[in-house]
Amino acid sequence: MRPETGRVLLTGAGPGAVDLMTVRAMRAVQGAQALLYDALVPEEILALAPAACLRIQTGKRAGRASMKQETINRLMLRLARRGLAVVRLKGGDPSVFGRSGEERAFLEAHGVEVEVIPGVTAASAAAAQFGFPLTHRGEARRVAFATARVQDGSVVEGGWSALADPQTTVAPYMARDAAGPAAARLMAEGRSGATPALAIQNAGRPQARLVPTTLAGLGEATAQAAFDGPVLLVVGEAAAQARGYGAAAPARRSASARS
Ligand SMILES: C[S@@+](CC[C@H](N)C(=O)[O-])C[C@H]1O[C@@H](n2cnc3c(N)ncnc32)[C@H](O)[C@@H]1O
């Protein structure tokens, strides 16, 4: 008899610390028969899966290339059709730059049931760890999770004028190498060069590192930091509340004098 089609759980692993996973995500991993995991998921979390679980790495790791999205989709489908409990494990929240929309649409179009299990996204982890809010009454009335695609040294997407409001906290993901162009674009849209800014590597993990700066200094500070892990940028008045932000105060004052 053909087994019933299994389900796929699109699961958020959180920022990389086991105790920042949700209980639901942890149970999903503990019950997985097939686990497809991204590069940002640490060994400590993978170790929660049963010994017999089929583990498939889909992200870049130890010099190996990432799998194509189409290959990942087909693999999830094949495993689900074998009747396995499939867990697609991603760093942070699968709904934030996690392709959960594409994967859900593909699987559902092929008759596979999908559940999304949320996770703590990098911006929330960074805010909690370094003691700053993403929204703050009177200073930050909205927060934007953004990303920046750069071509010939400039950000190519439109829509950045929506981030010009000084009361918007902007959190660019996947923007370590785009910090300079993204900052230039925000300043071109009217954000002051003196706006507090942070670059945070490995948010939510014990080895997290915070580089406090200003919008005008963000490109240089990020380049000089020589980061080698995942990096989130945060720009906005609320970022000044980050522990350790005082270290950037002189830079902020001089940027303020220039702007
Ligand atoms: C493909 S996106 C995935 C985002 C993820 N779904 C989330 O909700 O955090 C990868 C980017 O997320 C950010 N990121 C993920 N985990 C991070 C962490 N622990 N610390 C800092 N940035 C992180 C980085 O900007 C990285 O380049």
Atom of ligand 1 nearest to the CA of 123: 9
Please tell me the predicted confidence (pLDDT) of residue 156.
86
If you ran DSSP here, which 8-state letter would residue 7 be given?
-
Q: Is 165 helix (H, G, I), strand (E, B) or coil?
A: coil
Does residue 6 line the site of ligand 1, with CB under 6 A? no
Q: Could you tell which of 173, 228, 233 is best to mutate to test the pocket of ligand 1, judged by most ligand atoms within 8 Å of the CB? A: 173
Per-residue pLDDT of the chain (259 residues; tens, 9 = 90+): 455 778 999 999 999 999 999 999 999 999 999 999 999 899 999 999 999 999 999 986 655 678 999 999 999 999 999 999 999 999 999 999 999 999 999 999 999 999 999 999 999 999 999 999 999 999 999 999 999 888 988 888 878 999 999 999 999 999 999 999 999 999 999 999 999 999 999 999 999 999 999 999 999 999 999 999 999 999 999 999 999 898 665 556 555 555 4
Please tell me the predicted confidence (pLDDT) of residue 158.
79
Please tell me the predicted confidence (pLDDT) of residue 55.
97
Cα 2 to Cα 24: distance, rounded to the nearest angstrom? 29
- DSSP letters for 175-215: -GGGHHHHHHHHHHTT--TTSEEEEEESTTSTT-EEEEEET
Pick from 244, 123, 236: nearest CA to 183: 236
CA–centroid distance, 91 to ligand 1, in Å, is: 7
Known catalytic residues?
38, 60
Does residue 97 line the site of ligand 1, with CB under 6 A? yes
Pick from 165, 181, 247, 244: nearest CA to 215: 181
Please tell me the predicted confidence (pLDDT) of residue 255.
55
Does residue 20 line the site of ligand 1, with CB under 6 A? no
Show the domains of the chain with their CATH numbers.
Answer: 8-117 (3.40.1010.10), 122-258 (3.30.950.10)
Longest alpha-carbon distance in the chain = 75
Please tell me the predicted confidence (pLDDT) of residue 63.
57
Cα 55 to Cα 53: distance, rounded to the nearest angstrom? 6
Kindly report the pTM of this predicted structure.
0.93
Does residue 204 line the site of ligand 1, with CB under 6 A? yes
Cα 220 to Cα 240: distance, rounded to the nearest angstrom? 18
Please tell me the predicted confidence (pLDDT) of residue 254.
56
Question: Residue 83's CB: how many other CB atoms inside 10 A?
Answer: 14
Does residue 203 line the site of ligand 1, with CB under 6 A? yes
Angstrom CA distances, 244 to 118, 130, 132, 213, stand at 30, 8, 11, 10
CA–centroid distance, 94 to ligand 1, in Å, is: 10
Pick from 44, 69, 46, 45: nearest CA to 56: 46
How far does CA 55 lie from the centroid of its chain?
22
Q: Could you tell which of 18, 19, 20, 40 is best to mutate to test the pocket of ligand 1, judged by most ligand atoms within 8 Å of the CB? A: 40
110 φψ region: left (φ > 0), alpha (ψ -120 to 50), beta (else): alpha
Name the burial class of residue 111, with classes exposed (0-12), middle (13-18) and buried (19+) by CB atoms within 10 angstroms of its CB. Answer: exposed
Please tell me the predicted confidence (pLDDT) of residue 244.
84
Phi, then psi, of 13 in degrees rounded to 5: -85, -5
CA–centroid distance, 26 to ligand 1, in Å, is: 19
